[in-house]
Amino acid sequence: MDQSSFQKQLSALRDHRAAASGSMREAFAADPQRFEKFSASDSDLLLDWSKCAVDAQTMSLLEKLAAAADLEGRRAAMFAGKKINITEDRAVLHTALRNLNGKGITLDGQDVKAEVLAVFDAMSAFADAVRSGKAAGATGKKITDIVNIGIGGSDLGPAMATLALAPYHDGPRAHYVSNIDGAHIHDTLKGLSAETTLFIIASKTFTTVETMTNAETARKWVQKALGKDAVGKHFAAVSTALDLVAKFGIESDRVFGFWDWVGGRYSVWGAIGLPVMIAVGPKNFRAFLNGAHEMDEHFRTAPMAGNLPVLLGLVGWWHRVICKYPARAVIPYDQRLSRLPAYLQQLDMESNGKSVTLDGNAVTTPTGPLVWGEPGTNGQHAFFQLLHQGTDVIPVEFIAAAIGHEPDLKHQHDLLLANCLAQSEAFMKGRTLEEARAQMLAKGMKPADVDKIAPHRVFSGNRPSVTILYRKLDPHMLGRLIALYEHRVFVEGTLFNINSFDQWGVELGKELATGLLPVVEGKESAAKRDASTAGLVGHIHHLRGSE
Ligand SMILES: O=P(O)(O)OC[C@H]1O[C@H](O)[C@H](O)[C@@H](O)[C@@H]1O
Of 532, 93, 522, the C-alpha closest to 269 is 93
- For 78, 92, 115, the CA distances from 83, given in Å and listed in that order, are 8, 7, 19
Taking a C-beta distance cutoff of 8 angstroms, is the pair 87, 499 a contact? yes
ipTM exceeds 0.90: yes
Rounded distance between C-alpha atoms, residue 230 and residue 220, angstroms: 11
Minimal-distance CA residue to ligand 1 atom 4: 203
Which pLDDT band, with edges at 50, 70 and 90, does 547 fall under?
low
pTM of the model: 0.97
Among 125, 128, 135, 155, CA closest to 196: 135
Give me the pLDDT at residue 188, please.
Answer: 98
Distance CA 452, CA 524 (A): 62
* The pairing of beta strand 327-333 with beta strand 396-401: parallel
Q: Give the C-alpha separation, 478 to 466, whole Å.
A: 18
Distance 500 CA to ligand 1 centre (A): 15
| pLDDT at residue 67 is higher than 80 | yes
Q: Which of 177, 179, 205 to mutate to test the pocket of ligand 1 (most atoms within 8 A of CB)?
A: 205
Distance from Cα 210 to the centre of ligand 1, integer Å: 10
Q: How far apart are CA 365 and CA 139, in angstroms?
A: 60
Residues 6+ apart with CB under 8 A from 79: 95, 296, 300
Whether 350 is in the pocket of ligand 1, judged by its Cβ within 6 Å, is: yes
From the CA of 423, how far away is ligand 1's center (Å)? 36
The reply to whether ligand 1 has any atom less than 6 angstroms from the CB of 265 is: yes
User: What is the structure's pLDDT at 546?
Assistant: 62
Residue type, 183: A
**Strand-pair category, 255-257 with 327-333:** unpaired
Tell me what pLDDT residue 432 has. 96
What pLDDT was estimated at residue 388? 98
Secondary structure of residue 80 in the 3-state scheme: coil
Mean pLDDT of 126-143: 98
Spatial CB neighbours of 412, under 8 Å, sequence gap ≥ 6? 404, 406
Task: Show the beta-strand stretches assigned E in 89-247.
Answer: 106-107, 110-111, 145-149, 173-177, 197-202, 235-239
Ligand 1 touching residue 116 (CB < 6 A): no
- For the stretch 471-522, pLDDT in tens is 999 999 999 999 999 999 999 999 999 999 999 999 999 999 999 999 999 9
First vs last C-alpha separation in the chain:
60
Mean pLDDT of the chain: 96
pLDDT reported for residue 460: 95
* 154 Cβ inside 6 Å of ligand 1: yes
Alpha carbon of 152 to ligand 1 centroid (Å) = 5
Distance of alpha carbon 273 from the chain centroid = 14
Q: Which amino acid makes up residue 370?
A: L
Query: How far, in Å, is the centroid of ligand 1 from the Cα of 204?
Result: 7
How do 45-48 and 39-42 pair as beta strands?
Answer: antiparallel
Nearest residue (by CA) to ligand 1, atom 16, is 153
User: Which helix (DSSP H) or strand (DSSP E) does residue 329 occupy?
Assistant: strand 327-333
Q: Is the pLDDT of residue 102 over 80?
A: no
Atom of ligand 1 nearest to the CA of 272: 1
Cα separation, 146 vs 333, whole angstroms: 28
- pLDDT-based confidence at 289, cuts 50/70/90? very high
Which residue's CA is the nearest one to ligand 1's atom 7? 152
SS3 457: helix
Range 361-377 average pLDDT: 97
pLDDT of residue 396: 98
CA of 240 to the centre of ligand 1 (A): 12
Q: For position 105, what pLDDT does the model report?
A: 79
Q: Which of 54, 70, 93, 94 is nearest to 6 (CA)?
A: 70
| Residues annotated as part of the active site | 350, 381, 510
Strand partners, 327: 370
Tens of pLDDT, residue by residue over 16-58, are 999 999 999 999 999 999 999 999 999 999 999 999 999 999 9
Ligand 1 near 203 CB (within 6 A): yes
Is the CB of residue 272 below 6 angstroms from any atom belonging to ligand 1? no
Closest CA to 398 of 475, 337, 480, 477: 337
- Is 213 near ligand 1, meaning CB less than 6 Å away? no
